[in-house]
């Protein structure tokens, strides 16, 4: 499912499972696109939406215009999950695959993406090829996680022991990311891949190969 975003987009009660490679593979099972320069919209809400065993990412938000600028405000994910993202059928993906459960913001071809208000609450990510919850460093954001769970991510490192450990974590946390009372267990890098200055309160987790932080 690929949606070009306008204002006040709401998805509820969607289950996307066993998403195979299409003749033209899509970047995610459920993908939201800001296609034009100066794209600006607000009001993206997902409630009780789930992806499982998908060819690439579970969920993804993209700005696409080369060297353009896109803004998306008021983003909400509630009671959503992404499991086994990045698995190819039949067989498993290659070690160079970077698929994550939730890719919450990414600009292609130097597109600048601004997401000043993202809330992810009561969501979970597990057994994904790379990280559970991810956002690119170049994205301007104000992102808050509340009581989310991210377990057994970084499956690539189990299948390919010599693959890079760079992501393979429960959460990616940087400037303007707040993580409140979340849980990360048994990820093959860290529970939280901590870069710069996130705010983390009440974080718990065990069994992460390189520690919780």
Examine the pLDDT at 201 and tell me if it is beyond 90: yes
| Integer CA distances (angstroms), 66 to 105, 107, 114, 160, in order | 15, 9, 15, 33
28 contacts 56 by C-beta, under 8 angstroms: yes
Spatial separation of the C-alpha atoms in residues 52 and 16, rounded to whole Å: 6
For residue 24, is pLDDT > 70?
Answer: no
What was the pLDDT predicted at 213? 94
Mean pLDDT, residues 84-111 taken together: 86
Mean pLDDT of 158-179: 92
Q: Is the pLDDT of residue 91 over 70?
A: no
pLDDT band, very low/low/confident/very high, at 19 (cuts 50, 70, 90): confident
Residue 90: its pLDDT value, please?
63
Q: Are the CB atoms for 114 and 143 separated by under 8 Å? A: no
pLDDT (tens digit, 9 = 90+) per residue, 104-116?
Answer: 999 989 999 999 9
In tens, the pLDDT along 44-65 reads 999 999 999 998 999 999 999 9
Q: Is the pLDDT of residue 168 over 70?
A: yes
Residue 37 has a CB neighbour count (10 Å cut-off) of 15
Query: What's the pLDDT score for residue 39?
Result: 87
Q: Are residues 28 and 58 in contact, defined by beta-carbon separation less than 8 angstroms?
A: yes
DSSP state of 204: B
Percent of the chain as helix, strand, coil, to the nearest 5:
0, 50, 50
Sign of CA dihedral 24, 29, 30, 32: negative
Residue 167 pLDDT exceeds 70? yes
**pLDDT of 179:** 98
The pLDDT of residue 162 is 86
Angle (CA) 192-193-194 rounded to 5° is: 95
């Amino acid at each position: 499912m690929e949606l070009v975003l306008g204002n006040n987009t709401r998805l509820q009660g969607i289950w996307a499972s066993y998403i195979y490679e299409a003749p033209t593979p899509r970047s995610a099972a459920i993908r939201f696109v800001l296609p034009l320069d100066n794209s600006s919209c607000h009001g993206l809400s997902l409630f009780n939406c789930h992806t499982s065993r998908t060819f690439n990412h579970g969920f993804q938000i993209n700005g696409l215009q080369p060297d353009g600028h896109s803004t998306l405000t008021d983003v909400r994910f509630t009671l959503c999950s992404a499991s086994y993202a990045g698995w190819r059928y039949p067989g498993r993906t290659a070690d160079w695959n970077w698929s994550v459960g939730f890719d919450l913001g990414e600009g292609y071809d130097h597109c600048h993406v601004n997401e000043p208000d993202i809330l992810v609450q009561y969501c979970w990510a597990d057994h994904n090829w790379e990280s559970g919850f991810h956002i690119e460093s170049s994205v301007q954001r104000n992102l808050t996680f509340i009581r989310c769970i991210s377990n057994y991510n970084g499956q690539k490192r189990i299948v390919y022991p010599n693959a890079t450990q760079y992501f393979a974590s429960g959460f990616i946390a940087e400037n303007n990311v707040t993580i409140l009372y979340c849980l990360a267990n048994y990820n093959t890098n860290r529970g939280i891949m901590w870069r710069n200055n996130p705010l983390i309160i009440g974080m718990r987790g065990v069994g992460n190969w390189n520690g919780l932080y």
